[in-house]
Structure 1
Amino acid sequence: MFKKSKQFLILSFLCIPYLFFAQQENNNHNQANHIRTIQFISDSEFAGTPVIKLGQPIRITFDDINGDEADYYYRITHYNFDWTPSSLYKNEYLDGFDEVRIITYENSFNTLQMYSHYTLTIPNEDTRRLKVSGNYGIEIYNDDDEVVFSRKFIVYENITRVIVNTKRSRDLNYINSKQSVQFEISSPNEILRNPKRTIKTLVIQNNDFKQAITDLVPQFTIANKLVYKYDQESSFWGGNEYLAFDSKDIRASTVNIRNIELKDLYHNYLYTNNVRANRRYTYNPDINGNFVIRNLNAQDNNVEADYVWMHFFLECYEPLNDGEIHIYGNFNNFTLDDSTRLQYDKERAIFYTKRLFKQGFYNYKYVLLRPDGTIDPGFISGNFDETENEYMVIPYYRAPGARYDRAIGKGVNNSANITN
């Protein structure tokens, strides 16, 4: 009995480091406070977690507001579908090598906030190409091997055809508040055999991977097509159009900025927002949570766009039940932290916060973070089936005996074309 217990304890201690490592690898590292405005740019899109075609170049840019020209390095890792590290060796997914210093950077010019602007482009003379498709993560770290931020991205092979449609919910309880994603995956190859074991799918709304659906299996097969015609299982809350502000000229008020102050930096004060959940839907074009850096008076937005303190105000009388209200958007990869949390002013009966943003056009909205860690995106904004959202479906394939999950296609649809 003692021998078995001893063996169990030894195995437990051996497993703990692996489980901890897998859990750490599964999550993005906390972003250092001096690292700002991270953009992951490809030829066709930019987003917090971009989806790029195999062989397509990518570019990562970020600012260090310490402005001291610090040295930063990058490390690339390949992951399985569930974001656990794959069993591939580095030379199996990377042509060349990583853990190399980022050599392209320049300092800000004519700005109140000094910063250094860094650019990493892949391929380069060290990292020549990514060999395989699938999930990837990149870590940026400093001379002390401290990770200052990390990001995920997906590389896909275009070997399947993915047709995506957006439908109104068939459940009458949600017909006015949810949008259902239905899709088909077709391929002339043999990869669609035994799909319930070899095929996985990722369904994303507005490039927000934190709300993605990952557990769908094909309902039936027609010839070489896998058909997914779910309703509630593949439905998302419709949400509402994002709010926006434009700080392209930080010295002038705009339609959403009520007044301006110059202290150490410029401070822009937004008009007070209200709860929209109890109002009717109103069409307001947005860019689905994204942002664009721009300075009206600059020739190079990368280094001439200044930083400004944006002040947010929200009037909300709904009971939060120990929840927290946060501003939410792709400006920080849809992350909720202390910089996005609103405080409550009892005297004015208003929620408020301020956050440092680089000049540009930004989408944002307010969400409720519940005590159990779940996010309610419609608590403040409401949920409407008319809302314009973009949906993306990515199928993954693992052949019998294979050691990693391949991303084998991409399909996109916009709910502006929603049907019953």
Structure 2
Amino acid sequence: MKKNFYNLILLLLTPSLILCQVAEVSPPDFIKTITFKSNTTQGQLPVLKLGEPLQLEFDALNGNEEDFYYVIEHFNFDWTPSTLVKSEYLKGLDNQRILTYKNSFNTYQIYSHYELTIPNQQTRALLKSGNYMISIYDDYDELMFSRKFMIYEDLVNVGTSVKRSRDVKVIAEKQSIDIEISTNSVNFNNPLQTIKTLIIQNNNLNTAISDLKPQYTLGNKLIYRYDTESAFWGGNEYIYFETKDVRSSSLGVQFIDLKDIYHSYLFTNVPRKNQPYTYNPDINGNFLVTAIDQTDLDIEADYTMVHFSLSHEELKDKDIHVYGNFNAFAIEDLTKMIFNPESKRYECILRLKQGFYNYKYVVVDKATKELSEGVISGNFWQTENNYKVLVYYRDLGARFDRLIGYGETSSVNISN
């Protein structure tokens, strides 16, 4: 209750905060492996159908069996706070302690595994569609981390297809998304104002394209066929490694060593920008916790120190980061690589739970903080990428943005 009261006072005293877009908060170093689980996916951006349960899991590596609390907030399409009061979008209570946790068993790295499922006895239902943020606090009311998720109503059909870019300058490097929205249950009033769209590539909200307007209206259909506005850089297939067996080298791992915990040394990677495109099946930047000869992966999978290395000349005005959904595609100090003048390589060490991981190397400009995925990996129109399209609707006079449709496709069948 204290956190809710504090947030209310802030909003009353500083109305300008209502217009601020909210961003996810990365966890401290001792919280790892934040995953949203469903029947088919793990570790991906959660887009749930209204009424479907939300399951959040994470590990705390300090071994203190701390208490954690969760707070859920509703947001508009542009991630500004909505005007709904909590009782309008949440049945029951939040700001409750996460009751389900268990300690690691037979691992070198001691940790506690926490699980939160909604609905539960305190939070019985989420009532509205739209954008949500779940924030996790410790016992001292300090924010540990926050994650975005979406809930949709299945009211419109969202047809999506992936085409090669219509801009001949980047036809070999970009992919364009065509959208067709149709419905018999919603009367689109003034769709240029009431309909908003969000296109997400590989579950990465950082690169999403938002708020494209329909170009054509044919009866009850809205059609989007942009030349450049809906185009993404194709990128390249993610590199991957597997540490399901910490005692021996596995996929992508050159050798291992046991110190305080196991260390996994990956093969040194090289830039792929100027190499021909090669189809290399991946899971589009995501990860999957897995370990051999273990019954309960939640508490029996161990942590290893994973050593990344990239053969690349030193960049004076740019940083290189390890990039993937293992930390929700965040750019942080932990993912920054350090140039080793002796080996002429960029190096980085991350503590990761046993599993199968996708990653790539990205470049961040030190001055502008602009991120580029293609400087090292390259951009190819043939790359297999996953695309999600979300359709939001706010009728004239309505108080919040409903998420009324969801579509998903892959570029595996890309066409001209």
TM-score bucket of the superposed structures, by smaller chain: over 0.9
- What is the CA-CA distance between 1:21 and the residue it aligns to? 6.5
Mind listing any 5+ residue stretches in structure 2 that lack a counterpart?
1-9
CA shift, 1:14, in A, is: 9.9
Task: Please report how far the alpha carbon of residue 48 of structure 1 lies from its aligned counterpart in structure 2 after TM superposition.
Answer: 4.3
| Aligned structure 1 segments of 4 or more residues deviating by more than 4 angstroms | 13-16
Alpha-carbon deviations, 1:339-396, whole Å to 9, x = none?
A: 1000001122110010100000000000011231221011110000110001110010
The aligned residue for residue 120 of structure 1 is 116
User: What CA distance in whole angstroms lies between the structure 2 residues aligned with 1:44 and 1:251?
Assistant: 29
Rounded to whole Å, the distance in 1 between the matches of 2:99 and 2:240 is 34
Could you report, residue by residue, the CA deviation over 1:9-41 in whole angstroms, capped at 9, with x for unpaired residues? Answer: xxxx99983335653x61112312111100011
The answer for the alignment partner of 2:279 in structure 1 is 283
Q: Which of these residues, 338, 349, 355, is aligned with residue 344 of structure 2? A: 349
- The answer to whether the aligner puts 1:18 opposite 2:7 as a matched pair is no
Tell whether 2:88 aligns with 1:53: no
Partner of 2:323: 328
TM-score normalised according to structure 2 size: 0.95
1:48–1:332 contact (8 Å) kept in structure 2:
no
Report the equivalent of 1:82. Answer: 78
**Which deviations, in whole Å up to 9, do the C-alpha atoms of 1:151-207 show, x marking residues without a partner?**
000000000000000000121111111000001011113432210010000001011
Letter in 2 for 1:223: G
Correspondence for 1:131? 127
- Give the corresponding residue for 2:6: none
Change (3 A) 1:118 1:255: closer
For the 8 Å contact 1:42–1:56, the answer to whether it is kept is: no
Tell me what 1:368 maps to.
363
RMSD: 1.5
- When structure 1 is superposed on structure 2, of 288-297 and 40-49 the one drifting more is 40-49
1:257 correspondence with 2:221:
no
**Which whole-Å CA distance do the structure 2 matches of 1:22 and 1:360 have between them?**
40
Q: What aligned pairs does 1:18-417 form with structure 2 within 5 A after superposition?
A: 18-20=15-17, 23=20, 26-317=22-313, 320=315, 322-371=317-366, 372-417=368-413
The residue identity in structure 1 corresponding to 2:352 is F
- Specify whether residues 354 and 14 from structure 1 end up closer, same or farther in structure 2 by C-alpha distance, changes over 3 A only: closer
Identity over the aligned pairs, expressed in percent? Answer: 51
Residue 413 of structure 1 and its aligned partner are, at CA, apart by: 1.0
Preserved CA contact (<8 Å) 1:344 1:352: yes
- The answer as to whether partners of 1:239 and 1:378 remain within 8 angstroms in 2 is yes
CA–CA separation in structure 1 for the residues paired with 2:326 and 2:11 = 40
Query: C-alpha offsets along residues 226-254 of structure 1, whole Å, 9 cap, x if unaligned?
Result: 00001210000000000001000011012
Query: Which amino acid is 1:132 matched to?
Result: K
CA contact (8 A) 1:71 1:142 kept: yes
Which ranges of structure 1 fall in alignment gaps of 5 or more residues?
Answer: 1-12
- Is the contact between residue 241 and residue 358 of structure 2 (CA under 8 Å) also seen in structure 1? yes
* Shift in Å, 1:215: 2.9
Give the letter for the 1:326 counterpart. Answer: H
**Which amino acid in 2 is paired with 1:324?**
D
Aligned partner of 2:341: which letter?
Answer: K
